Structures are given as structure tokens and as C-alpha cells.
């Protein structure tokens, strides 16, 4: 028999938030009023909220105690220095610019480093990251390995860079057109898939030869480190803290959405090793976020973030966090439901194009599936497919991504194993009546990041 090692939570529950229970009729009404877009539902109408793992974590008692130690001085808050210390000690980056969340940091780095006509290669796009690159005049290029676009591929590191794709881009455009390569840990849009240290090291060698920076989208770096520990030869005995440090040391700077790994409800930062870039960022942050010692955050938020960063690299925490996601994913695999494999770090991604093969991609299969999941049991998921991919800025046509997914994102330290069971049961029910589900048409489309506010109607 295979030996078992439980992922049970390394904490106990001190306070609970009561939830409203709804009927099928109420949910049908609510999703219609929301234009069949789960982003437009009222949170109180949701039973289990799997929209995102962003800013939805439960903070620890120590973080809450830290909130009471907020130093709300306009300049030079004590909490800023605590955060700076946590970033330096945990991640090793020399200079810190706090921002209100990850996209604030993306805005700063894109504005500073990208010139019109530049090319920014990355291991798959992320919505806000690519938009800021485009708004700064650059163009994103996908350099992730082909396996990342194949939901059935069992490659252990689907976040890896295809070095040939990167080399080809450098040859085609010249290194001077590539201000940096953007490397995400783990890759959100690929289903929370990790990059290996070995691959990252090769990317470092290649970019170093051409004098190209690596900017690290470190939103889920601890989760990536966990997969390296579990899967990469030579890392079994290394601590998460050490692997996180090893990853960061191979890069030149980072954007962080602390609302994910770092266990806070709001916050982010830009971290840099390069003094000149830091100087410019510290100047620019004043224009868009706030003074460089708070960057749009309250002192208490920075304190909670400093503590959360340290909690995020604890072995027991990360084992329970990823273990819970794997528990849910394994139930769905056992029930024969097509999901992205291997199971990712922050959620389970349903393969909507396989579940609803009768719905063409321009009738939004993933958006449709998410709406039906909500109607079934009040579970709120998110579309990650053609709606999220948006339109090509040149042609104005839909971008048709190879992956048409529904993301069941698991907030950190929030739901129990019984909740995971309820989710699995609901997905199975919807799956069993999939042939009766019809697609949708878009009746309202915003200009930017349309998935947030678009409205739909059943066809």
C-alpha cells in the first residue's frame, strides 16, 4: 500500500464567517441579473467563492495583531521598514517599492523599461501584465513550452521556457528590442504550472549573454518552490525558503501581487536589484500610487504583508495549501472529468472545450460552464478562455486561446475538506447533464480586460 501523508491544516479556526444559503430559483435569478458573468454576482449570493485566490486568504492571528501595529505616518512608516526587511531576507531583492497591488508594480516597470516597438517575451501571458506591456508600447511574445498549451500533457514543469523560441526572438528582433524577459512563478494562465530551476538557470544564461534582464512575476513563487521540492531532482531536502531564494537570485527584479502567496487582502510591490531602475520607480510611484514608503497602502497593510511573506514560505503551510488543491483535483480526475494536469498550485482548471465540445469557442464554452456551476450549487468560478484572452489590438478580432478553461481557484486557509467535497459533487452533477447545456452570446463588451464586466445571454 502507498504510504499516506496528510496535508491537514497547520492551524485551527478561531472565527467563522456565516454564509447565506440560496435556492436554485434565487441563483438562476442572480446569474441572469449578473449577465451570466460570475464577476458581476454579489458575493453574498455565493456559497463557495472560487472566483480567485487573490486577496481572499484568511490572515493569521499574528497578521491581525500586526494590523494593530500600523504606523500611519505619511512618510517613513515603521511598517515600510519591516516590509523592506521581509522582502530582502526572504527574496533577496535589494530595493523595494510598495504598490497597492501587483498591477501597480507592472505599470511602473512597464513604463520605465519598455519603449515603443519593444518585444517582451514571457512564459505565457497574464491579463494585466500584458495589458501594461501593450499600453507602454510593447508587444508580448509567448515563449512557454508547447506542452503548456496542452491540457492533457503531464509534463512536470509546464511553466518552462522553450529556449529555442526565446533565442529565435532575440535573433529576429535583436537584444536591444527586448528590455526584459518576464518569468512567472507559477504560471497562472497555464493552470498554476511551475517552472523548474534548471530551466530558469538556462534562461538566465541565455539572457545574460545578451544583456537582457529577467523580471520575475513572483506572485506564486512559494507554490512554485513547493513543486520544485517535490519534483526536481536534488531538491527533496531543500527548504521552501531556500528554493524561493534560489529562484529570485536568478532574476533581476520582480513584480508581486501579495494578494496571492503573501496571504494579505491587499498589497503588492516592485522589487529591484538595479539602483537606476529603482531610482526611477521610486520617483514614478509618487505619481500613480503614493509616496515611496507606502505606495498606496496603509501602514497596517504593509505590516500584514511583511508577516504574510514569512508565513508563506513555511513548509507545513505550503504543503497544506497545495495539498488541498490536489485533493479536489484528484476527486475530479477519479470521476473522469477533464481537467488540466498535472494539478496546479492555486486551483483546478476544468477543460471546458472537452466538457462542452458542442459549444463553439465564439459561444464561450468556459463562460457558460461557469454560469452553470453557479446555478447548480452557488459555486463561483472564473472563465479563463476566449473572453479573458480579449481581442487582438491590431485586427480587432477575438483571440482564440488553445485553452478554454474554467478556474476553480482555492483561497488560502479559507475552506475545509468538506467544502472541497461539495465542489467536486457539483462539478460532477453539471458534467452529467452537459449535453443539455447551450452556449451564450456577448451583449455588452468593455474595452479593457473585458472578462471583468462583459454581459452575456444564452443563445
Ligand X SMILES: *Cc1c(COP(=O)(O)O)cnc(C)c1O
**Identified binder of ligand X from the candidate list 184, 305, 337, 366, rule CB under 6 A:** 184
CA distance 1 to 181: 45
Which residue among the candidates 99, 127, 128, 409 is catalytic per the annotation?
A: 127
Of 74, 60, 58, which is closest to residue 298 (Cα–Cα)? 74
Catalytic (active site) residue 448: no
Could you say whether residue 219 binds ligand X (CB under 6 A)? yes
- Residue 401 in grid coordinates: 486561446
Question: For residues 268 and 344, which CB has a smaller minimum distance to ligand X in the complex?
Answer: 268
- Residue 20 in grid coordinates: 447565506
Residue ranges in 381-410 that form contacts with ligand X under rule CB under 6 A? none
**Identified binder of ligand X from the candidate list 245, 259, 282, 292, rule CB under 6 A:** 259
Could you say whether residue 98 binds ligand X (CB under 6 A)? no
Of 266, 3, 251, 233, which is closest to residue 123 (Cα–Cα)? 251
Could you say whether residue 103 binds ligand X (CB under 6 A)? yes
Catalytic (active site) residue 260: yes
Of 141, 139, 221, which is closest to residue 188 (Cα–Cα)? 221
Pairing of strands 382-384, 405-409: antiparallel
Catalytic (active site) residue 217: yes
Q: Which stretch binds ligand X (CB under 6 A): 74-82, 254-262, 325-333, 416-424?
A: 254-262
Pairing of strands 268-272, 95-99: antiparallel
- The DSSP secondary structure of 51-70, one letter per residue, reads S-SSS-PPPPHHHHHHHTT-
Could you say whether residue 101 binds ligand X (CB under 6 A)? yes
Pairing of strands 139-142, 119-122: parallel
Catalytic (active site) residue 278: no
Binding mask 51-90 for ligand X (x = CB under 6 A): ---x------------------------------------
Provide the minimum distance between the beta carbon of 440 and ligand X in the complex, in angstroms, as a whole number: 26
The answer to whether 380 touches 51, Cβ cutoff 8 Å, is yes
Provide the minimum distance between the beta carbon of 126 and ligand X in the complex, in angstroms, as a whole number: 4
Q: Which stretch binds ligand X (CB under 6 A): 202-210, 253-261, 312-320, 445-453?
A: 253-261
Could you say whether residue 268 binds ligand X (CB under 6 A)? yes
Could you say whether residue 301 binds ligand X (CB under 6 A)? no
Which residue among the candidates 95, 126, 294, 327 is catalytic per the annotation?
A: 126
DSSP tag of 37: -
Binding mask 151-170 for ligand X (x = CB under 6 A): --------------------
CA distance 409 to 260: 11
Question: For residues 217 and 232, which CB has a smaller minimum distance to ligand X in the complex?
Answer: 217
Provide the minimum distance between the beta carbon of 107 and ligand X in the complex, in angstroms, as a whole number: 9
- Residue 249 in grid coordinates: 537570485
Of 376, 362, 317, which is closest to residue 459 (Cα–Cα)? 362
Provide the minimum distance between the beta carbon of 269 and ligand X in the complex, in angstroms, as a whole number: 10
Which residue among the candidates 260, 282, 300, 412 is catalytic per the annotation?
A: 260
Catalytic (active site) residue 126: yes
CA distance 296 to 302: 10
Question: For residues 53 and 377, which CB has a smaller minimum distance to ligand X in the complex?
Answer: 53
Instruction: Burial-class residue 162 by CB neighbours within 10 Å (0-12, 13-18, 19+).
Output: middle
DSSP, collapsed to helix, strand or coil, labels residue 405 as strand
Provide the minimum distance between the beta carbon of 55 and ligand X in the complex, in angstroms, as a whole number: 7
Q: Which stretch binds ligand X (CB under 6 A): 123-131, 229-237, 417-425, 451-459?
A: 123-131
Could you say whether residue 128 binds ligand X (CB under 6 A)? yes
Instruction: Burial-class residue 61 by CB neighbours within 10 Å (0-12, 13-18, 19+).
Output: exposed
Which residue among the candidates 217, 252, 261, 301 is catalytic per the annotation?
A: 217
SS3 percent helix, strand, coil of the chain, rounded to 5, is 45, 15, 40
Residues that bind ligand X (CB under 6 A): 54, 101-103, 126, 128-129, 184, 188, 217, 219, 257, 259-260, 268
Q: Annotated catalytic sites, by residue?
A: 74, 126-127, 217, 260, 384, 451
Amino acid at each position: 500500500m502507498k504510504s499516506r501523508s496528510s496535508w491537514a491544516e497547520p492551524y485551527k479556526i478561531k472565527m467563522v464567517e456565516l454564509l447565506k444559503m440560496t435556492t436554485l430559483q434565487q441563483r438562476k435569478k442572480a446569474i441572469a441579473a449578473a449577465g451570466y458573468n460570475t464577476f458581476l454576482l454579489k458575493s453574498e449570493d455565493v456559497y463557495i467563492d472560487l472566483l480567485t485566490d487573490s486577496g481572499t486568504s484568511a490572515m493569521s492571528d499574528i497578521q491581525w495583531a500586526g494590523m494593530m501595529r500600523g504606523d500611519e505616518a505619511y512618510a517613513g512608516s515603521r511598517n515600510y521598514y519591516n516590509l523592506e526587511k521581509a522582502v530582502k531576507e526572504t527574496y533577496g531583492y535589494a530595493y523595494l517599492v510598495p504598490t497597492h497591488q501587483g498591477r501597480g508594480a507592472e505599470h511602473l516597470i512597464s513604463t520605465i523599461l519598455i519603449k515603443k516597438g519593444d518585444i517582451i517575451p514571457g512564459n505565457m501571458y497574464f491579463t494585466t501584465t500584458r495589458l501594461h506591456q501593450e499600453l507602454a508600447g510593447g508587444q508580448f511574445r509567448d515563449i512557454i513550452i508547447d506542452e503548456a498549451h496542452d491540457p492533457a500533457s503531464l509534463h512536470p514543469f509546464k511553466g518552462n521556457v522553450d529556449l529555442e523560441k526565446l533565442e529565435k526572438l532575440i535573433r529576429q528582433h535583436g537584444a536591444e528590442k527586448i528590455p526584459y524577459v518576464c518569468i512567472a512563478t507559477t504560471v497562472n494562465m497555464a493552470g498554476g504550472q511551475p517552472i523548474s530551476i534548471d530551466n530558469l538557470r538556462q534562461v538566465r544564461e541565455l539572457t545574460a549573454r545578451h544583456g537582457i534582464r529577467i523580471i520575475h512575476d513572483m506572485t506564486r513563487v512559494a507554490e512554485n518552490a513547493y513543486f520544485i521540492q517535490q519534483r526536481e531532482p536534488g531538491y527533496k531536502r531543500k527548504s521552501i525558503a531556500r528554493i524561493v531564494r534560489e529562484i529570485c537570485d536568478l532574476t533581476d527584479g520582480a513584480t508581486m501581487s501579495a494578494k496571492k502567496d503573501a496571504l494579505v487582502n491587499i498589497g503588492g510591490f516592485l522589487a529591484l536589484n538595479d539602483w537606476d531602475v529603482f531610482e526611477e520607480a521610486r520617483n514614478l510611484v509618487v505619481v500613480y500610487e503614493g509616496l515611496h514608503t507606502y505606495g498606496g497602502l496603509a501602514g497596517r497593510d504593509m505590516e500584514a504583508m511583511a508577516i504574510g511573506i514569512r508565513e508563506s514560505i513555511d513548509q507545513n503551510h505550503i504543503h497544506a495549501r497545495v495539498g488541498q488543491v490536489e485533493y479536489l483535483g484528484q476527486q475530479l480526475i477519479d470521476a473522469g472529468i477533464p481537467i488540466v494536469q498535472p494539478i496546479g498550485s492555486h486551483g483546478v482548471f476544468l477543460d471546458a472545450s472537452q466538457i462542452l465540445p458542442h459549444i463553439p469557442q465564439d459561444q464561450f464554452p468556459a463562460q457558460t460552464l461557469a454560469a452553470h456551476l453557479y446555478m447548480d450549487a452557488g459555486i463561483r468560478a472564473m472563465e479563463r478562455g476566449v473572453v479573458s484572452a480579449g481581442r487582438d489590438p491590431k485586427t480587432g478580432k477575438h483571440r482564440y486561446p488553445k485553452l478554454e478553461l474554467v478556474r476553480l481557484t482555492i483561497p488560502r486557509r479559507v475552506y475545509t475538506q468538506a467544502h472541497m467535497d461539495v465542489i467536486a459533487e457539483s462539478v460532477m452533477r453539471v458534467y452529467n447533464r452537459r449535453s443539455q447545456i447551450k452556449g451564450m452570446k456577448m451583449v455588452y463588451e468593455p474595452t479593457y480586460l473585458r472578462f471583468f464586466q462583459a454581459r452575456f445571454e444564452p443563445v
